[in-house]
Amino acid sequence: MNMPNWNAAWREKALPELAAREWDLIVVGGGISGAGILREAARRGWSCLLLEQRDFAWGTSSRSSKMVHGGLRYIAKGQFGLTRDSVRERQRLLEEAPGLVDPLSFLFPHYQGQFPGPRVFGGLLAVYDALAGKRNHLYYPLQQLRYLLPGIKEQGLAGATRFQDAVTDDARLVMRVLGEARAEGAEALNGMRVVELLREAGTVCGLVAQDSESGQRFTFRCRAVAQAAGAWADGLRQKAGPEHIRPLRGSHLMLPHWRLPVAHAISFMHAADRRPVFVFPWEGATVIGTTDLDHRESLDTDARISAEEVDYLLAACAQQFPAARVGRSDVLSSWAGVRPVVSDGDDSLAPSDEKREHMLWTEPGCVTLAGGKLTTFRLLALEVLQACSAFVGKPVEDHGQAVFRPMAEVALSALTSTQQRRLRGRHGLALPQLAELLEQIGQQPVGSLDTLWVELAQACDNELVLHLDDLLLRRTRIGLLLADGAAAELPQIRSLCQPRLGWSDARWDDEQQRYLALWQRCYSLPG
């Protein structure tokens, strides 16, 4: 299907026409939940539009722990249904989107006298594997572990248990799901802040949204609104009962891979509070995460790591890899995401003790999704659509269709098989456009990264980039993976991207200044 370039010029032209339509469904929120709802509605022939207040994946869906996990921790809490669903959806994603969702092996070290020991942990994993339909765990004694995890603290170490989960680039996952939805007739706009829901005779019949680029307000009409705004879910809904969103912050540190080279994810309990933390490889770097704290700052500004969280994560690193002596000066970047956890109490419960199950809040014409996990976004989308179906007047059945349809074969012969797999996973249906750009631009990587320069060009041309941080922190991740937010690469980025974005010199200078200030404030280290 030949579609016009999905860029800022298209957006400006299309916006009045999109506002003039009558929609079956409008989705509020451009994270993975919103993208999933849009995708499932589009495949059923619903006329549907997604509105995101900032940028696609701007909130939690670009700042998660990158795990597509089966929910091992839920077994320990007796949430077997949640684990079963998570495991099955994880397997689906691994099969449907290789190169975007990939296997990741985890090692859980066992120290003498610490819970859980190998036998208890092995019992949990036996249930985990049974739900997945395949055995995928193994115990390694200390002698073997030295080869798998060089540098790990050995005092009191008996061995470790290996199990399998998966990892992704969360922001790219959102973009790929949106691409599937748009290919089936859906539309999606970023920079559109919903300011109010319209109600007639007690029923939601549309909304008013403000364009962040022009300041203009637009009225949209629809049969149903699905709110998938994550931590912002309480903002527009009619509240009844004690349930509310409790925003919990999870922060991470990124190190150069050479500074702490790990081939597996290591999962262990932090000595300070016995919470699970991870050290894992991602995009050629090493990540340490995560924290779990009440987020008391405004949701309207980018979340950022606190000095206390930096100390906590560095302490975790020192606990497991004492000889590495990792310090603040080794950190490439940080990020902090806000989890939209549903609470029915007064928030006196410890953050890690809150349940991670989702809820639907419904009023006539509007369904609000609260909570939910990245891994199960397809199931959440179906549940939301089923709740909306009475308002729209269209049934919703689940025949288990793939989220990602098979792609046409596209020749990428100049690239290695690993590069081809990566690009197929991350760009999906847009691969033919990417292949054309490869012919023009070549296959050079950005520095030592896996990211290719052609991916920046593709994002500028066809991924609705409105600001420089959209490009460097979400469409690609080079702002996290390169020193100082990729400051040294900015001249070359400018040369490639400024003409494609249609920005004047003054606009580029403003965007660059804004981006570097944002990076310093929210993606570096505090103080």
How many other CB atoms are there within 10 angstroms of residue 324's CB atom? 16
Q: Which contacts of 179-183 are long-range, i.e. CB under 8 A and separated by 24 or more positions?
A: 179/427, 179/428, 179/429, 179/430, 180/39, 180/42, 180/403, 180/404, 180/405, 180/428, 180/429, 181/35, 181/38, 181/39, 181/41, 181/42, 181/48, 181/50, 182/3, 182/6, 182/42, 183/1, 183/3, 183/429
More confident residue, 72 or 388: 388
Q: 217 forms bridges with which residues in the sheet?
A: 210
66: left (phi over 0), alpha (psi -120 to 50) or beta: left
- C-alpha to C-alpha distance for 47 and 502, rounded to whole angstroms: 31
* Class of domain 8-61+171-243+353-392 as given by CATH: alpha beta
Cβ atoms within 10 Å, residue 301: 10
**CB burial readout 85-117, b (16+ within 10 A) else e:** bbbbbbbbbbebbebbbbebbbbbbbbeeeeee
Please give the C-alpha separations between residue 122 and each of 118, 160, 162, 245, in angstroms, as whole numbers: 6, 10, 10, 34
Assess whether the previous peptide bond of 116 is cis (omega < 30° from 0).
yes
- Residue 454 has a pLDDT of 97
Give mean pLDDT, residues 313-338.
97
Token readout for 313 is 């994560």
Tokens 């280290």, residue located: 525
Q: Give tens-digit pLDDT for 390-410.
A: 999 999 999 899 999 988 888
pTM over 0.85: yes
User: H helices within 265-339, ranges in order?
Assistant: 307-320
pLDDT of residue 195: 96
In CATH, the number for domain 417-522 is 1.10.8
CATH of domain 71-167+245-349: 3.30.9.10
Question: Checking phi first, is residue 206 left (phi over 0); if not, alpha (psi -120 to 50) or beta?
Answer: left
Going from N- to C-terminal start, the domains of the chain cover: 8-61+171-243+353-392, 71-167+245-349, 417-522
Measured distance between the N- and C-terminal CA atoms of the chain, rounded to whole angstroms: 50
Averaged pLDDT score across all residues of the chain: 93
Q: How confident is the model at residue 426 (pLDDT cuts 50, 70, 90)?
A: very high
Number of helices and strands in the chain (H, E): 16, 18
Rounded CA separation 286/493 (Å): 25
Rounded CA gap, 455 and 122, in Å? 42
Contact 294, 248 (CB under 8 A): yes
pLDDT band at 1 (very low <50, low <70, confident <90, very high): very low
**Is 90 exceeded by the pLDDT of residue 29?**
yes
pLDDT digits (tens, 9 = 90+) for 78-134: 777 888 889 999 999 999 999 999 999 999 999 998 888 889 888 888 888 888 777
* Gyration radius from the chain CA atoms: 23
